[in-house]
Structure 1
Amino acid sequence: MLDNSRKWRPEPDWADALLVAPSLRIRAVTGLPQHLVSGNIERFLARHGLGTDIGAFGLASGGRYAVRVARDRLLAVGVPASECPAGWHDEGYAVTAVGSALRVLEARGQGVRDLIARTTAVDPDNGGPCAALQFCGLTCSVYFHGDMQTLRIHVDRGLAAYLWEWMERQPLLSSRAGGG
């Protein structure tokens, strides 16, 4: 019987996954609580003390923040489930836990701008209000975290291995001549 699973490499061990180059390090961020919030997001932000949300190539800081992923939808990052239960809330918003649905990759270093130039046509200096954008041919939520040399990418779990392998093969990270 034909075994199609032999065509693909196994998924990385995300806890130890690391790509290193002279100007760039890419790793997976594990254990990060993530919740999709739909509806009255202003009330959600106020209720959880998150201030404002960030869009494409915006700068998030700290362990708790909100990322805009659509007109009336955001991704709450770092808010534990004990403070943010799933379901409908009387304040006018719904919460869905999505931590196991999205992988988070973090690229750090001076080569982040070069990586961005290879993955999207969006200008990182004029990103826009929504963090969801085409990144390496995939819809990902992309923003800076902590400083302008640390890029976070939220990608659908089923596509994370593809994105990881694509990054491995880039001249920025590849040890092969010509970038393979």
Structure 2
Amino acid sequence: MSDKKILTPEQRGRLTSSLAGWIACGFGSGLAPKAQGTFGSLAALLPWLLLRQLPLPLYALAAVLAFALGVWACNVAGRALGVDDHRSLVWDEFVGQWIALVPALLAPWWAVLAGFALFRLFDVGKPWPIGWLDRHLKGGLGVMVDDVVAGVFAAVVLGVGLALLR
């Protein structure tokens, strides 16, 4: 078993040599030397700019499909790395960030910044039940679920905040 923080050259090669690895590491954003989750969340904003053009039902469908893809990709990549939830696996940040930004779809530009910050706050802080899920669920599902819940928490806080400002 490898340290969760540092990818060996062999692990990096295993991750980048497969489609599942490229998806799981957020198309390379998770290979940053530090703050992989933040880099993954930032990278998630690029496809979000396209996703936000979709009607809400299609946006939700895209998020559900991305979640299922992430469970598969993170499971395969985690097995290849020999680590259940390595910090280089950031597809969960993509999906969680997209969920967090649902209230920002029709909001001013600063709501995107607020949604980003709120998602990072809940993802890093891991209040209950996020921390519990992170510790108890394993494999691809475990990688994905805690960030989905962090995204829901961030979306609720952002949505309430936007409603109070109207």
TM-score, normalised to structure 1's length?
A: 0.33
TM-score, normalised to structure 2's length?
A: 0.35
Larger Cα Rg: Structure 1 or Structure 2? 1
Looking at secondary structure, tell me which structure has more strand per residue. Answer: 1
